[in-house]
Structure 1
Amino acid sequence: MTERRASRTDNSISGGTYYGPVVQAGSVTMNLPPTPAPPLGILPVPSSVFVGRDHQVRALLEVLTPDGGNGPRPRVALVTGPAGIGKSELLLQVAHGAVGRGWFPGGVLSIDLQGYASGLAPLTPAAALGRLLHRLGLPLDAIPEHAEDRAAVYRECLRDRSVLVLLDNTRDSAQVHPLLPPHGCAALISSRNRLPALDDARRFPLSALSPDESCELFLVAAEPHTGTDAEGAATRAHSRRIATNCGGLPLALRVAAARVRGETADHLAELATWLDDERKRLVELDDGERTVTASFRASYDSLDDGERLLFALCGLHPGPRVGVHAVAALADLPLRDVRRRMQTLRNAHLVETDGAGHYKLHDLLHVYARERAHEDVPEAGTRAAMDRLIDCYLYTADRADSAVAPGRYRLPHTVDHPPHSIPDVDERDAALAWFAEEMPQLAALLRAAATTSDPSRCWILADAMRGFFFHTKAWDTWLETLQVALDAATDAGEVRVQSVLHNSMGVALIEQDRSQDAARHYEEARSGFESVGDAHGVATAVENRAWVHQYAGDHLAALADHQQALDVYRGLGARRNTAIVQRGMALAETELGRYEDATAHLTQALEVFLELGLDLDSAMALNGLGEAHARAGQAEPARRHFLRALRRSRACGSLFEEARAREGLAALLEATDPRRAAHHWKRALSQYQTLRSPKAEQVRSRLAALGLSSPEANSARN
């Protein structure tokens, strides 16, 4: 209503908010539209198949409660994760839960920002605001032209109203900032990007479903036909295989379920077999309308050229995790550039990190990255990347092995592509930790090396891991890697290399009480070394054969082989090998009751080991001295040597030698101090069991004789 007073014109408009030109006159009557209100009931219907995520649903609802669960903090929640992880569905489930509780009487606004939509450009903030304002009831000609003006009108429309805003498929923080509602409203946001600049949002990163949740989701979505109990059991078994191959990714599980919905166990078995083949996995995860590949492709296309190349090259790594130094080798980049680009991939949820310098790709993303490498990178580029990667691991393993087993004979080799940088592995503890951490990757790279144009790196890598395996007694993994290397060396006709590997296989086998199998490998080694005129190798095979006699109880034959090897090593000036033979001779002499000879040989060997800084060898010699003195009835020197062996073995991290020392101390204490003896027996048993050593059964029998057949129930503390 306009009221004229004297020569002054005053204008006042009430009853609503008007967007457009202002008209001034002496007397004006205007009928304004009501203030726009958001429409109700526009949320899509959530899926009836929703499994897991209970914790996330509760936490998100807590953010959306009228007090925000945290006083004045904005009620803004950001759900992030890789493509297909179920972000949009989680938002819908939570939004329906919040609306059903009556928390948003002003209604719900929902918009797909098309951050990763195939064939569609992401919505600009201005375009998104235009759509939201139109849904709020503004006519198109009343929506301002500029984004800042639209944002101001948007906030005004939502002021003093309790509205829930869903912003799905967000590309970046700049896209979503102008769309955040004012205080009193709330926002649920989803993105494949971490959106680090979105400071006020409470963050909810999604990871893959657990194996049980994955199987449940697949079964509920697939509704397979089950008849007999046997068919039901088969259906569950095939479902678990399918779920495992989907890697806990809800999109993949739903697509797989759609492929076999309502089908019998036979159809599930067929799909499971197809998915078992990694090369076909992504092709099979296609139900005609949805594909996992398309979802991944949108994330991949959002990267720049350098980031796409780095992601693709990561797919070439055959192991489950890849360290930053390995990525640098793959890409032939310095660490600082690798870390920066990998952070971008992490922000896009294409890789994850464990916080310790390692990255991991989801199983299906790993398959996709490998496909991209073979399709988007020239063959010469992928071949060079793999060569650099293998050489990086080989170079690092060789350095680490030198720290674990200094002075050990190694197969001669050169590295064609030395890495830019490697982890710090020059100290024994760091080297052992690196081997333990990287063993799955090393085993996978060893297999990959066997198929390259230079398979020699396969057996050189196997040889570089020998010290770690002997130290940790991880016999099964050692035998597996040795067999791969032996097959590669056999195919290449490398007789001397085969002999070295046969010797190592014999060591691993004899430690598992498989003496006859070990004897066959030692004989293969001896014959091979003789054929190429390698006297040192022949001596090593003969020395190893001595242990077959030792385990068979033929100590005289063992001494004869030891002496033959000793003569050769002394002639070659091989001090460490000489000391190792003397240690072996002492054990045979102890069994023959030649205690003075045994202690003399062990003392000489110990001096060499200590001089060379060989802690593991020293611990073994000290245990031998303890056993020789104990067998001679000399309890006090036996006790001293076992205690020194215990300290030395713990310092160098050898569980086996520690258990051996405890076993010796327990035997000495059994008659005089049963309680302390039981303590050492129990610790020895636990350590032998950890190592899966056959000696565990012997210790268990001793404990049973003491009336302590269940040490696990009352384990002693250190």
Structure 2
Amino acid sequence: MSIEPLDPAGGARRPRHPRALGHSTNQLPGSVFGTLVQADRVDLLVVGMSDAVDRALPPRQVPAPICEVLARERELAVLDRAANPTGRAHRPSVLVVSGMSGVGKTAVTTQWAWSNRSRFTGGQLFSDLSQHRGRGAVATVEVMGGFLRALGVHEQHIPPDLASRAALFRTKTSDAPVLVVLDNADQAAQVRPFVPGSPDSVVLVTSQHRLSGLLVEGASPLALRPLDTDASYRLLVDQVPAEVRVALPREEVGALIDLCGGLPLALRIAGARLNEATRWPVRRLREYLSDEKHRLRRLAVGGHTVRHVFDTTVDNLQPRLRTLYRRLGLHPGAEFSVAAAATVSGFSETDTADALDHLFEANLVEGVRPHRFRFHDLVRLHARAVADQDEPRAELDTILDRITSWYLAGARAADLAMMGVARWRSCDHATADWGGPEFTPSTAVDWWETERQNLLETVRTADDRGDAGTVLALCEALWPLYHGLKYYTDWIEAHLAGIRAALILRDDVAETRMRNQLARAYVELREFDQADGQLELALVAARRSDEPRAVAVVRESRGVVRRERGDFPGAAAEFEESLLINEQVADDRGTALQLYHLADVLVRAREPLRAIELLDRAARITEELGDDTTSARVDIVFGAAYQELGLPESAQPYLERAAATARDRGLRAKEIEALGRLVAVLGPDAPQSTAVAERLASLTDTTEPGYHTEQ
């Protein structure tokens, strides 16, 4: 730019040649910042800058929500309350929406932001921080620069460092409420600079991490969980045309929802598939997704895949956390203790606990209770897939051996604590190499109850691997759990696997025990024909084994079937035969059990005095053995005998003792049986009747469907 000054006389002055000034044309020493005006001489110059940028409208950057149905009304209401707290300090609100990948964090936040956009007159700013992430860090200074430009700050006036930019940001947002949406934050430090200056502003953050540092500083949390069944149904069918929707079989849709685990991303993908009704009818889609090995890969449509979002999350973990994550995928159940996780990982319990805290913070595991965590079903499938991909085959086998042995040793220790050493066991019962606690009877039952699903999954794992010996050992150790606590579904499945294992090993004694124990489940479910069928095969195997105790246990079970059918003479004959065998092999516990069974049949046959004679003998044996479990059974029949004799005052102490023993040992079925008789013995007017009846009601309310106690 060159301006020619006027000659004082009014004519144009001839400019002097630049070389006459001793320097080159258009060259100045030093650096120039801003606008440069260069001239020989300037008498009058007015320079103005446009304020068009500063007068720009407030930014409206929040994207409109794509989904019409979120099925997240409760969560949106939580955000409403958190953004408008009553009696809050005069400061901006920071809301952290966290949850696992694919749970719908961005959908919820954009829905809320869009619905509330009119209240933020200072503008709405949005940034997906994952787009600014590189080498594990987020270029926060770049995001802040973009926000300042959107707020009308000229590029030349934006400071170079983050601290100065954040200060300017607070100044520019101090006059009117501003909404800041930060999607995919992974650290609290990425959020703090973006808190606006206006006290009525809101910062809405989404993160797979819980961002506990912000919560400590007063941020409000909203942890998104997978959808329940009803909400999942609404989300799934949202994409399906009305004419297709009415024809969807609800049962098939329910099975499909279960396969998606309530994860909105998975449900959206499944819904998109159902939208192609001619190609993907619901039954075919359900069958297509039923294969656990391929489900994550198949939950994909139009570039959206569940496997990819999980991969992205896990790729950002530190190596030690990735190792724990994938090895936890080999754990036999979805829920696990710190001790079990340490067994799988090969780390110490302290290191495992620390690593689990990090996985919990990243929403890859859920906290169930202190020292106990669980996987979401789809996350568990992903962890297992990563393990299959990254762990050498030999290491996979070692890990599975380690965790299977850990659960077997625990089950055996619980069995020993519950039943003592007097019980006949055919499998090796050593508990070496297991560093678990020494159980008492009550803590054994607690452990069984807590680990019930994992124990069944361990049976399945051993069965799938062809580890027949471990299947048999587990079924033997779990017999007190199934017989005492009446988990019939688990009981039947485990023992069907046990029968397969016994046949593989051609172990006649094991086959006898597995069929016999399976038959007892059918007896209690009143499926007597199935019980008889198993007992016929069991007796054949027992006789083939040449093991007298194997024959004795089958005769005992045959007696139970006949007793439950009302054939008391037939039942007594079976129990007498079993009693004779147990006496011949000097099995004191077996002898006491047959005396108990015989006495029970006599009471039912209205011969209580003969029953009491047998019970006196059984009680002496169980007392010598210290077998409280069998003692409780004997006491119940004592109470029944005296009840039959019309002597309630004599029956009461036996029933009270039986109920107390059963309660201490966690034998719910026996406690129910004892309390049921005690209510009848006491009568409605006794002072303790109400308490006994309330305890009985609380127990019967918690039993599973199909529950049945011995009568």
Q: Work out the CA distance in 2 between the residues paired with 1:259 and 1:474.
A: 38
Provide Cα deviations, 1:257-316, integer angstroms capped at 9, x if missing partner: 223336359633322321222233222221122222211111010011221121112222
In the alignment, what sits opposite 1:347? 361
Equivalent residues in 2 for 1:115-126, closer than 5 Å: 123-126=138-141
The residue aligned with 1:490 is 503
Mapped to 2, the partners of 1:417 and 1:642 lie a distance apart of: 39
CA distance in 1, matches of 2:132, 2:490: 43
TM-score normalized by the length of structure 2: 0.85
Task: Within 5 Å, give how 1:72-83 maps onto structure 2.
Answer: 72-83=90-101
Contact 1:309 1:377 in 2 (8 A): no
Q: Could you give the per-residue CA deviations for residues 370-399 of structure 1, whole angstroms, max 9, x where no partner exists? A: 111111111112111111111111111111
Determine helix, strand or coil for the equivalent of 2:138.
coil
3-state DSSP class of the match of 2:204? strand
CA 476–220 in structure 1, closer or farther in 2 if over 3 Å, else same: closer
* 2:275 is equivalent to residue 268 of structure 1: no
| CA-based RMSD | 3.4
Match of 1:307 in 2: 321
Look up the match of 1:51.
70
Q: Structure 2 vs 1, CA of residues 269 and 537 (structure 1 numbering), >3 Å: closer, same or farther?
A: closer
Match of 1:140 in 2: 155
Q: Distance in 2 between matches of 1:136 and 1:269?
A: 53
For residue 465 of structure 1, what is the aligned residue in structure 2? 478
Post-superposition CA distance 1:505-524 (Å, at most 9, x none): 23223333344543443343
Matched, 1:446 2:459: yes
> For residue 613 of structure 2, what is the aligned residue in structure 1?
600
Which residue number corresponds to residue 27 of structure 2?
Answer: none
Q: 1:624–1:40: structure 2 CA closer, same or farther, 3 Å change rule? A: same
The 3 A distance-change label for structure 1 pair 243 and 554 is: closer
Moved more, 212-221 or 661-670: 661-670
d(CA) in 1 for partners of 2:556 and 2:252?
51
1:328 paired residue number: 342
Is 1:390 equivalent to 2:404 in the alignment?
yes
Identify unmatched segments of 5+ residues in structure 2: 1-32, 37-43
Give the Å deviation of 1:652.
3.4
Residue identity opposite 2:125 in structure 1: L
User: For residue 107 of structure 1, what is the aligned residue in structure 2?
Assistant: 123
- The 1:302–1:501 alpha-carbon spacing in structure 2 relative to 1, beyond 3 Å, is same
Q: What CA deviation, in whole Å up to 9, does each residue of 1:237-272 have, x standing for no partner?
A: 544333332222222222222233363596333223
Conservation of the 8 A alpha-carbon contact between 1:506 and 1:518? yes
* 1:246 pairs with 2:265: no
| TM-score for the superposition, normalised by structure 1 | 0.84
1:290 matched to 2:309: no
Instruction: Say whether the 8 Å CA contact 1:158–1:182 is kept in structure 2.
Output: yes
Identity percentage of aligned residues = 28
Q: In 1, Cα distance between the equivalents of 2:203 and 2:681?
A: 72
Question: Is the 2:59–2:151 Cα contact (8 Å) retained in structure 1?
Answer: no
How much does 1:571 deviate? 3.9
In structure 2, what is the Cα distance between the partners aligned to 1:416 and 1:654?
24
Which segment drifts farther, 380-389 or 521-530?
521-530
> Residue 371 of structure 1 aligns with which residue?
385
Equivalent residues in 2 for 1:618-697, closer than 5 Å: 618-665=631-678, 668=681, 690=703
User: 1: distance between equivalents of 2:130 and 2:663?
Assistant: 58
Q: What is the CA-CA distance between 1:361 and the residue it aligns to?
A: 1.6
Quick check: 556-565 or 326-335, which moved more? 556-565
CA change 1:692–1:123 in 2 (3 A) is closer
Aligned equivalents of 1:38 and 1:137: distance in 2? 8
CA distance in 1, matches of 2:561, 2:132: 65
Does the 8 A contact of 1:489 with 1:495 survive in 2?
A: yes
User: Are 2:228 and 1:207 equivalent residues in the alignment?
Assistant: no
Q: Secondary structure of the residue that 2:654 maps to in structure 1?
A: helix
381, 405, 430: which is aligned to 2:419? 405
Q: Which runs of 5+ in 1 are unaligned?
A: 1-19, 699-718
1:572 maps onto 2:591 in alignment = no
Is the CA contact (8 Å cut-off) linking 1:512 and 1:693 kept in structure 2? yes
Structure 2 distance, partners of 1:165, 1:371, is: 37
State whether residues 359 and 365 of structure 2, in contact with CA within 8 Å, keep that contact through their aligned partners in structure 1.
Answer: yes
Task: In structure 1, give the amino acid aligned to 2:354.
Answer: R
Structure 1 residues 232 and 266: alpha-carbon distance in aligned structure 2, compared to 1, 3 A threshold: farther
Contact in 2 for aligned 1:52/1:213 (Cα 8 Å)? yes
Deviation at 1:480, TM superposition (A): 2.1
**Matching residue of 1:86:** 104
- 2:212 is paired with a residue whose SS is coil
Aligned length: 666
* Alignment equivalent of 1:545, drawn from 558, 574, 578: 558
Which residue pairs with 2:447 in the alignment?
434
Q: Is the 8 A contact 1:688 1:695 kept in 2?
A: no
Cα distance in 2 for residues equivalent to 1:110 and 1:88: 11
1:612-653 Cα deviation digits (max 9, x unpaired): 333332221112122223334444423443343344334434
Counterparts of 1:147-226 in structure 2, within 5 Å, are: 147-184=162-199, 185-198=201-214, 199-223=217-241, 225-226=243-244
Higher mean C-alpha deviation, range 153-162 or range 493-502: 153-162
**Who is 1:11 aligned against?**
none
- Contact 2:296–2:378 (CA under 8 A) maintained in structure 1: yes
Compared CA separation, residues 692 and 232, structure 1 to 2 (3 A): closer
C-alpha distance in 2, partners of 1:64/1:590? 70
- Shift of the 60–605 alpha-carbon distance from structure 1 to 2, 3 Å rule, reads same
Max radius of gyration: which structure? 2
Greater shift in the superposed pair: 686-695 or 363-372: 686-695
CA–CA distance in 2 between the matches of 1:214 and 1:693? 29
Residue 430 to residue 164, structure 1, CA distance change in 2 (3 Å)? same
Map of 1:706 onto structure 2: none
Contact residue 392 and residue 417 of structure 1 kept, 8 A = no
Distance 1:94 1:678 in 2: 53
Whether the 8 Å contact between 2:412 and 2:429 is mirrored in structure 1 is no
Q: Which residue of 1 aligns with 2:513?
A: 500
- The 1:476–1:69 alpha-carbon spacing in structure 2 relative to 1, beyond 3 Å, is same
Confirm or deny that 1:613 pairs with 2:632.
no
Quote how far apart the aligned CAs of 1:330 are: 0.9
Moved more, 155-164 or 36-45: 36-45
Q: Distance in 2 between matches of 1:36 and 1:455?
A: 79
Letter in 2 for 1:176: V
Change in Cα spacing, 1:494 to 1:171, as seen in structure 2 (3 Å) is: same
Q: Does 1:96 align with 2:114?
A: yes
Offset of residue 359 of structure 1: 1.7
Q: CA deviation at 1:87?
A: 1.0
Instruction: Quote the Cα distance in structure 2 between the aligned partners of 1:460 and 1:697.
Output: 26
Moved more, 325-334 or 685-694: 685-694
- Contact 1:42/1:110 (<8 A) preserved: yes
CA 1:131–1:263: 2 relative to 1, 3 Å: same
Aligned to 2:295: 281
Q: CA deviation at 1:190?
A: 0.8
* Cα offsets for 1:576-596 (capped at 9, x unmatched): 222112212223444556544
In structure 2, how many angstroms separate the alpha carbons of the residues matched to 1:389 and 1:643?
41
- Tell me if the contact between 1:667 and 1:677 (Cα under 8 Å) persists in the aligned partners: no
Residues 436-488 of structure 1: per-residue CA shift (max 9 Å, x gap): 22212211221111122532111211111111122123334312211121112
Residue 71 of structure 2: SS of its match in structure 1? coil
- Mapped partners of 2:316, 2:143: distance in 1: 20
Aligned to 1:7: none
1:383-427 residue CA offsets vs partner (Å, 9 max, x unmatched): 1111111111111111112222223223323679934x43x4602
Mapped partners of 2:418, 2:541: distance in 1: 28
Q: Does the residue aligned with 2:205 lie in a helix, a strand or coil? A: strand
